[in-house]
Amino acid sequence: MSASTLTTIMENNRRAGRLTRIPFLPAAFPGRDEFWTVLAELAAHGADIIEIGVPFSDPVADGPQVAEASRLALANGGSLDYIFEGLARRRAELPPGLVLMGYVNPFIQYGWTKAAQDLHGREARAVMAASLANLAEKMSQAGVAGLIVPDLPLEESAPWLAALKQHGLDLIALVGPNTDLKKMKAYAACGAGGYVYVVSVLGVTGVREGLPPEVKDTLKRARQAFNLPLALGFGLTSPDQLRSLPSEERPEGAVFGSALIRHLSSGGTVRDFMAPWLA
């Protein structure tokens, strides 16, 4: 099996001694056209991987910044169709690795109606498996390498892993301060790939000062359980937060969503936002 695109990006950066920068931006935010401009600017200013948010009406793992941006994104027509159509025209000019991040329902509904017709019935889980196969095919065609699904724990992930594996795509595990070593090992064993999204705090997305003290332990357990690069997320605003960690415990990547959204919403430029992360 060939190595995952996402793993390769992060491994190469690690060898080069630098952090992998992973911005998160909801599709069609801040606007239908501006989104693609911002994406290109992020790529031009050092983003290695970009997590494109698939907006959902009920974002239960998100704090106020991302929830509000998702609401705007939905109003702007942000959807899987919008993402796939846009990428069909622009993927060649976007060097970073791409990941979709979103909640379960929009993903399983992508192609649900057709799958339900094809299967002549309402055996919900069979229809879901067919929808996911359709989603994985579209992701592969659009050059998207992986999925992050915050409301999909290990116990429900089998049909997702099966569909993504068909196209060599990654389902990225999310683990946090209350995920014990045994559970992390179970995620690793079930075939979660790409990188590991380590949630810094027992909470929702959002801008926070510093880093909670338990981060060190979470990173240590994740390092022990997975043979994958680690990306730290939730609450990151500046690279200084990572410098507070002993160098051997630092993650390979940093995810920043809320801080970027806040910066863009207040009229800031991508270049200014990315500058500290390039230092």
Question: Contact residues for another protein (CB under 8 A)?
Answer: 56-61, 63-64, 67, 71, 74, 79-81, 103-110, 112-113, 116, 122-125, 127-128, 150-156, 173-180, 183, 199, 202-204
Q: Measured between alpha carbons, how far apart are the two ends of the chain, in Å?
A: 35
| Choice between 23 and 150, CB closer to another protein | 150
| Choice between 113 and 238, CB closer to another protein | 113
Cα–Cα distance for residue pair 160/163, rounded to 1 Å = 5
Cα–Cα distance for residue pair 65/258, rounded to 1 Å = 6
| Residues 75 and 26: beta-carbon distance below 8 Å | no
Shortest Å, Cβ 152 to another protein: 6
Cα–Cα distance for residue pair 27/80, rounded to 1 Å = 9
Question: Is the CA virtual torsion 177, 174, 11, 235 positive or negative?
Answer: negative
Shortest Å, Cβ 277 to another protein: 26
- The single residue of 11, 33, 41, 51 carrying the catalytic annotation is 51
Shortest Å, Cβ 9 to another protein: 24
| Choice between 158 and 278, CB closer to another protein | 158
Angle made by CA atoms 117, 123, 126, in degrees to the nearest 5: 80
- The single residue of 11, 41, 62, 180 carrying the catalytic annotation is 62
| Choice between 94 and 152, CB closer to another protein | 152
Residue 155 is encoded by which pair of tokens? 């116990």
Cα–Cα distance for residue pair 66/24, rounded to 1 Å = 10
Shortest Å, Cβ 239 to another protein: 25
> Is 62 annotated as catalytic?
yes
Residues marked as catalytic: 51, 62
